[in-house]
Each structure stands twice: as structure tokens, then as C-alpha cells.
Amino acid sequence: MPGACAAGNNDHNTSMSKRQLAIVLWTVGILNFATNLAPLIQYQGYDTVPIWRAVHGLLNHSQIYTHGGAGDFLYFPSALLMLLPLGAVSLPLAKAGLFFVDIGAILVSTAMLLRLFGYRWFGLAGAIALCGVSFAYPVFFTVGAGNVDALVLVGFAGFLLAASSGSWTTAGTSLGLAIALKPVIAPLVLVVAVYRRWKALTLALLIPCALSGVVLLAAPASRDYFSVTLPLLWHGQDAQIQHVSYSLRSVANRLGVPDALTGLIRLSVLLASVGLFWRRYRGSQVEPQRIVELSTIVLAAAFLLSTFAFPFYGVYFLPFAIAATTRSSYLHHWLTWAALFCVAAKERWFLERLPDRMNQFLGARFTLGFLLVLLSIYVGVRRAAEARVSLDLSSYERRGEARADVGTVAEP
């Protein structure tokens, strides 16, 4: 009885400690989140401006896609249909609206991803997640810019949540709507294809095409997307955008790397990513770990190989960050935490006393983060394979010992 009482007291103390820690982390997370939001209010919404102008261009039958490059509207025509409510409000109201919508979308996405791994939002796991999000630079970049990436993240989280539960029709619909809003996560159709979920793949491709078709038929000015915007995306926009881009091509251009060598590096990253993707798919089939890591591989490679990639793309590594904290994950190593620091930390690493070229190299931290994400998953895949071999060997040895015991007992 005394032992049972002691065990009960220990469980009660542990429960109280977790509750107290959760309260502390919730308090710190909320205060830090609000503190980082406050400075954004004055300069918030610069990415909302081209979206608002494009929607009003659609409604007023005027130009939608321009040659502006930096600050231009670059999304599929389907996005115009999904963002039509912005046409009913003024620009200041549109900025304020997207500001609060983005905050809500980030929090909803976090809650969905916690649920994906069996965690509760209103608990210690939710408090830890909020603390992490409150320090993440891409989150506040997205909210401050007033773009739609937070909404796309909701679609990404919905895709993962539905796919991991076997609801592939819902997963395809969620992915299709996210792509229709902004095609930044369009490479995820490769994940659907490798799972051979053809109905979901059809939905993911058909939804943005159908919505874009409606706009193209209704507004001839939207057809400029093919003659104006697609060439711009292919060539990587203008110098102003390339200066803040962190794709391999953009960074190599800033560092003066020869084009031939840049092409070789990009080809190497492509081949390595394809190999890693296939190896991870053939590895551990534990879900949702597998689909999250496959999606992360595809997105990290796409950002690296794109003509441009921005720091706020780091929000799409939120599923990877949560996956790395689960007990079943093989991502518990320093490369994972280094990758997340490079992708999410606010520090720019610029030192005034260093030469400009050194500062440019250190400023490529986000690019290094994308590469480290791939490398950390590779190390995780190797660890999982080694653990599986060790388990098989142990099982074989136990069977051998059992047979030896049976033979001993059978002797007269």
C-alpha cells in the first residue's frame, strides 16, 4: 500500500509539473508572438497590394498581369476567383483583413499538424509548438508581407491530415485548392503519384485548371499570365527580386559562381533529391512520418532548384519540425536542429567588419537550411535502415536460441 500511494503521488506530481510547464510556455508563447507581431503593423501588407490590384483589375476589366516583376501578381488565374472578396473592400481594409486571416491560418495549421501526430493543441505539446512558432522568422515574414502562404499552409496541413487517415479524396481536394491559390506547393503532386492515388492526383490537378479556365473564359486580360508571367517565372524575375532570393541559382549569381558550375550543382541536387525521395519511399512505412518527410524532400528540392525562393517559404517546413519531435522519428540529430535554425531563426549573420563577399556567403543561410533539411532526412533514413537491420538480426538470433533450446529438451 505505501508503494501504491507513492506511485500515485509521483503520477500526480508529474501531471502537475506538466500542467505548470504548459502554463509557463503558453504565457511565454503568447507574449512573444504578440511582441513580434506589434512591429509589423506599421509596414504590413506590401504583398497584399498586387493581389488587391489584380482582383480589382479583374472586376474592372483592366490589366491584371504586368511586367513589373517585383511586386507583381504572379499566381494562377484561379487565385483571382478565390480572392474575389478583396474586390469588395478598400486596400487598407484588405491589408488588415489578410493580416488577421494569416495569423489565424498559422495557428489553425499548427493545431492541424499537432493533431496529425496525435498531440493536443490545448496541452503541453501545443504550448511548445506555440513557443516555437513565436520565434519563427518565416511566420512573421508571411504575416507582415500579407501574402497568401499562410492559407496555402492550411491546405498543405489538410492534405497531410487527410492522406494519413486514408481520406485521399479529401487530400486531393485540399491540395488542389492550395495549388489554385498559389502553386508554391504544386510539386507535392509527385507525392500523390508515388502513392498511386490517381483520383486524388486528378483532383489536385483538375481543381486549379478548372478554376483558372473559368477566369480565362470570363476575363480575356487574365490570359496575359501565359505571355507575361510564365516567362518572368522561368527567368527568375528581376534583379530586385533576385537580390532577396535564396534558390541555388540566385545565390550562385550573387556570389559570382560560373553558370556552368551552377548548372552542375543544380543537377547534382536534383539527382540526389530523386534518389533520397525514392529511398525514403521504400524505407519505413510508418505514417504520417513517411508522407511528411517525402513532402519535405519534394519542397526543399523545389525551392533549391527554382529560379527564386524566399525566406518565408520556411513556413512549409512546419510539418517537418513537428515530425522531428515525435518519439518514432529518426530525425533526432544535430543536423535537423541546425536545418531548422537556418530556416527559421531571425538572425541574418551579417557582420559589418567582414568583407561584402563574406557577408553574401553568410547571408545564404536559408539556402544552407534547405540543403540541411535534405541531409538530415538522409541521415534519418540511414538510421532507420540500420535499426531495421539490427532488429532483424536480433530476431534471427532469438529464433536460433529458441531452436537450440528445443533441441536440448528433446535429447533423451
pLDDT at 412: 46
CA dist., res. 211 & res. 371, Å (int): 35
Q: How many residues does the chain have?
A: 412
User: Is 73 strand, coil or helix?
Assistant: coil
pLDDT at 389: 77
Dihedral sign for Cα atoms in the order 264, 266, 267, 268: positive
Run of H or E including 187: none
Burial 239-256 (b: 16+ CB within 10 A, else e): eebbeebbbbbbbbbbee
Report DSSP letters for 283-339, one per residue: S---TTHHHHHHHHHHHHHHHHHSS---GGGGGGGHHHHHHTTSTT-S--SHHHHHH
User: Is 236 strand, coil or helix?
Assistant: coil
Q: Which residues of the chain have pLDDT under 50?
A: 4-7, 12, 396, 406, 409-410, 412
pLDDT tens digits, 69-121: 656 888 999 999 999 999 999 999 999 999 999 999 999 999 999 999 999 99
Q: Which residue has the cell 538480426?
A: 393
* pTM of the shown model: 0.89
Here the cell at position 61 is 476589366
What is the rounded (10 degree) CA torsion for 252, 138, 147, 300? Answer: 50
pLDDT at 88: 93
pLDDT at 193: 97
Q: Which residue has the cell 561584402?
A: 356
Here the cell at position 49 is 497590394
On average, the pLDDT of the chain sits at 87
CA dist., res. 329 & res. 284, Å (int): 10
CA dist., res. 238 & res. 250, Å (int): 11
Burial 298-318 (b: 16+ CB within 10 A, else e): bbbbbbbbbbbbbbbbbbbbb
Query: Which are the contacts of 70, defined by CB distance < 8 A and separation ≥ 6?
Result: 237, 238, 240, 241
pLDDT at 392: 56
CA dist., res. 260 & res. 397, Å (int): 53
CA dist., res. 1 & res. 18, Å (int): 26
Burial class (CB in 10 A: 0-12, 13-18, 19+), 334: exposed
Here the cell at position 124 is 503541453
pLDDT at 255: 85
Are 116 and 160 within 8 A, CB to CB? yes
pLDDT tens digits, 370-390: 999 999 999 999 999 888 877
